[in-house]
Amino acid sequence: MSYLEEGLKNSEVLKLDRIVKNIAVIGAGIVGICSAYFLKKSGFNVTLIDKEKPGTMTSFGHACSFADYANVPVNYPGLIWDIPSMLLRKDGPLAIDLFYILKNLPWAISFLKNCNKEKVNEIASSLTNLLKHSQISYDEIFQDVDVSEYISHEENLYLFDSKKSFEDNEYANVIRKNNNVKVRNLNKNEVKELEPNIADVYYAGQIFTGSRHTTNPLAISNKIFDKFLELGGIYINQNAKNIIQKENKIELRLEDKNFYFDKIIVSTGAWSNQIANKFGDKFPLDTERGYHILFDTNEKLINRPVAWSESGFYLIQIHDGIRAAGTVEIAGLKKPPNKKRLAMIERQSRKVLPQLREVKSTWMGRRPTLPDSLPVIGKSQNNNNVIYAFGHQHVGWTLGAVTGKIIDSLSKDQVPNIDISAYAPDRF
């Protein structure tokens, strides 16, 4: 009897014998970590591979919310007419490198084609299909992994800078309501009661009912990763130099050795095309560059994540300070961080919360994004042993666990209990 079979009943052993395979999960962000965890729980031999430490890339620097309310896509009707005014606003939520976007015009055109009402409603419904399973999927992990000290149930607050921005948000509220997301409007006095330290620069607010957030995303990633290792998972901190199909196996050439696997899971975020192309798959994958600034503080200034509509970022009190995280910049993978975006976030953060102290650190991450604002989750069109899990845009942290559960089902050649047709790799 193998180590995988120890302690199992005979019926369970027989079940495992049919499904046990050697699987590599390439990419140790939250999607990859959760996938590796669920696969290992199911009895697979799992190797997690990444040249970076687990949870230290895009999964580290985000706005810390389990944003199961975030079913309104970046695409929205009329966006094309709003882009010029967004770009002219030095403190706006969007920045675009025009030279880069011109080189990637097909992606931009495809993105704008998804901005009509019919497509937006379809996208919102498909996002909701995943988001409504996000909390329960994480809770399944958290039964095994105690992360209670890193989770707060104080609901997320969104502030509007003007009556116009508040009224313009009604379209998003209709989408939320149609998809069973509960939102509660607040007047200025109600906002003040919740967050007395916020400056009087807002018109009104909203609370996303039932939302929660983390005060330390890296600690949660590490806890899940440690459980994966405890269950017998293997981690290789190397870069996959090359990937070759060898009959019924897939050969991964790492820095010092070759490994053979029955299946691979590709969860390498904005870099996923580098692997997909080796199997003849190519996706219209780009990246939204997001930023954060960490302010030093030795006192509690806010009780919950506070979003600022004017500039598109959240302020969050975390374990080592106050993080201001968010915004969108379209500029590709190679361009260095934009100091103007960082300066804008700092300026706007101090406008909202004047008590902020000095800046401790800054960060930039790359959110993988497809033109329809939906992830790619499913088997390769050209190789049944390759499964993709990337492109979660600004909700990657939120969807890590539910994506991991889907990957587990697909690896067993089972039909997931969630309809994943909207995320199919062959939709492009």
Pick the CATH number of 10-58+219-283+374-427 from 2.160.10.10, 1.10.3210.10, 1.20.1250.20, 3.50.50.60: 3.50.50.60
**Tens-digit pLDDT profile for residues 218-238:** 999 999 999 999 999 999 999
Q: How confident is the model at residue 8 (pLDDT cuts 50, 70, 90)?
A: very low
d(CA 22, CA 262): 5
Across 20-48, b (16+ Cβ under 10 Å) vs e yields bbbbbbbbbbbbbbbbbbbbbbbbbbbbb
d(CA 72, CA 373): 10
Q: Is the pLDDT of residue 85 over 90?
A: no
d(CA 193, CA 412): 51
Mean pLDDT across 172-189: 95
Q: Is the pLDDT of residue 84 over 90?
A: no
CB atoms near residue 286 (< 10 Å) = 25
The CA-atom distances, in angstroms, between 278 and each of 240, 383, 411 are: 12, 11, 20
Q: Do domains 10-58+219-283+374-427 and 73-115+146-212+285-369 have the same CATH topology?
A: no
Q: What is the DSSP string of 64-133?
A: -EE-TT--S-S--TTHHHHHHHHHH-TTSSEEE-HHHHHHTHHHHHHHHHTTSHHHHHHHHHHHHHHHTT
Give the range among 130-139, 215-224, 249-258, 276-285 with minimum mean pLDDT: 249-258
Sorted by where each begins, the domain ranges of the chain are 10-58+219-283+374-427, 73-115+146-212+285-369
Q: How many CA atoms are closer than 13 Å to the CA of 164, on its beta-carbon side?
A: 1
Q: Is the pLDDT of residue 331 over 90?
A: yes
**Tens-digit pLDDT profile for residues 382-416:** 999 999 999 999 999 999 999 999 999 999 999 99
Output phi, psi for 75, to 5 deg. Answer: -65, 135
Q: Is residue 295 within 8 Å of 283, Cβ to Cβ?
A: no
d(CA 411, CA 244): 19
d(CA 298, CA 294): 13
The confidence score (pLDDT) of residue 246 equals 84
Q: Where are the alpha helices (DSSP H) in 233-377?
A: 273-276, 339-352
The amino acid at 65: S
The confidence score (pLDDT) of residue 264 equals 98
Q: Is residue 286 within 8 Å of 104, Cβ to Cβ?
A: yes
CA-atom Rg of the chain in angstroms:
22
73-115+146-212+285-369 placed in CATH 3.30.420.40: no
**Tens-digit pLDDT profile for residues 30-66:** 999 999 999 999 999 999 999 999 999 999 999 999 9
